[in-house]
Structure 1
Amino acid sequence: MTKQIELIPVPKEELKGFKEELKEAFLKGLKDSFDHVENAERLGPIPSDEDFEQSVNSRDSVVRQLMLNGEKIGGVVLTINERMHRNEVSFLYTVASAHGKGLGTQAWHAIEAAFPSTKVWELHTPYFEKRNIHFYVNKCGFKIVEFYHRGNPGPHEGASQPKSDEEYEFFRFEKVISSP
């Protein structure tokens, strides 16, 4: 019998392995999106070490492993704002062996259930990640609310100069949770 996906805290001593798994999953998505591996790898590690460290070390950060029947199938880094109830998904991934089985959708439902006071979920994903866009819009109920690019840099404004247009081109998604 299949159990529900559980969100288990990631101990500090396991964060390095968590980061490597996350990077591996994101690199696979990047490689799947580009014809040539060298095109994917020229963008550098995704996420950058700096982005990862900033996300997991923020005051409101929640870092969880996604577990199914005692097996790790992925992970999530969230920013939970208890006061505003507007929460952000910094990183969400599933391991390759979990793809195409509905486990990502089940994981998203587990995340929502773990934070029932959330009024709005927000996240960002690159323009080329068609699999992510399909997942968030068609499976999880998010809406695309903004497109960031050189003319509308959004969260990149004031950051170090990106190397390419790809680093500017992101969608911002929101999911407004309706009251029961």
Structure 2
Amino acid sequence: MQNAPITLANTYPDDIAAFKKELQDAFALAVVDEFGELPGGPIPSDEVLDGAVNAPGAVTLRILCDGRKVGGAVVTINEETHRNSLDLFFLKVGEHGRGLGLQAWLAIERRFPETVAWQTHTPYFEKRNIHFYINKCGFRIIEFFNRHNPDPNQPEGGNDLPGDGDAFQFEKVMKRSNPRL
């Protein structure tokens, strides 16, 4: 069955609670698959999500398929450098495996055509995400964060994911700011 085209819509304040719950449910699947259970409260925590949604330059998007909410994303857009970040990205539980994620990512790229480069990250244990970002979306790994090389943007004890905190940083260069590069 062919999916309807993916579109993006801004997320409004009255939808943020549902957005956060759907994101946490989606992230919980990967954590439970890897660790057998959640280590306490929802992942990411409400505090982490509120920080991402309310960060300077943040744009919170709903991913729609034929007008139906199938996921969401939080991107941070830097209007000066056009080096943007994909901070959170998810498909709702039950929406995986039909190509919606790649369609959604391509829609995000089209929405922000001035982007020079995108960065994102994912936990080391999240093999499905690593495959998606590298093999489907064209990102490359630019850094591996671990106890010997901690993420400078992560406050001490600020990671609410289980495990040892190992994570990959990815980048996708869209266009060069200097054509001679």
The answer to whether the aligner puts 1:20 opposite 2:17 as a matched pair is no
Structure 2 counterpart of 1:55: 52
Structure 2 counterpart of 1:110: 107
User: Is there any run of 5+ residues in structure 1 with no aligned partner, and where?
Assistant: none
Structure 2 residue matching 1:78: 3-state secondary structure: strand
- Shift of the alpha carbon at 1:43? 6.0
Letter in 2 for 1:75: G
Structure 1 residue matching 2:101: 3-state secondary structure: helix
Structure 2 counterpart of 1:132: 129
TM-score (normalizing by structure 1): 0.89
Structure 1 residue matching 2:73: 3-state secondary structure: strand
> Which residue, out of 72, 75, 87, partners 1:75?
72
Letter in 2 for 1:110: A
User: Is there any run of 5+ residues in structure 2 with no aligned partner, and where?
Assistant: none
Structure 1 residue matching 2:44: 3-state secondary structure: coil
Q: Structure 2 vs 1, CA of residues 112 and 99 (structure 1 numbering), >3 Å: closer, same or farther?
A: same
Cα pair 1:156 1:168 within 8 Å, conserved: no
User: What is the alpha-carbon distance in structure 2 between the residues aligned to residue 24 and residue 17 of structure 1?
Assistant: 10
Q: Structure 2 vs 1, CA of residues 153 and 122 (structure 1 numbering), >3 Å: closer, same or farther?
A: same
- Shift of the alpha carbon at 1:2? 4.8
> Which residue, out of 41, 51, 62, partners 1:65?
62
Identity value in percent: 44
Aligned residues: 176
Across the aligned residues of Structure 1 and Structure 2, the Cα RMSD in angstroms comes to 2.2
- Shift of the alpha carbon at 1:156? 5.2
Runs of 4+ in structure 1 deviating by more than 6 angstroms, as ranges, are none
- Shift of the alpha carbon at 1:154? 1.4
Structure 1 counterpart of 2:144: 147
Structure 1 residue matching 2:103: 3-state secondary structure: helix
TM-score (normalizing by structure 2): 0.89
Structure 1 counterpart of 2:34: 33
CA deviation vs aligned residue, 1:1-35 (integer Å, no higher than 9, x gap): 8542111111101101100000000001212223x
Structure 1 window deviating more from structure 2 (42-51 vs 67-76): it is 42-51
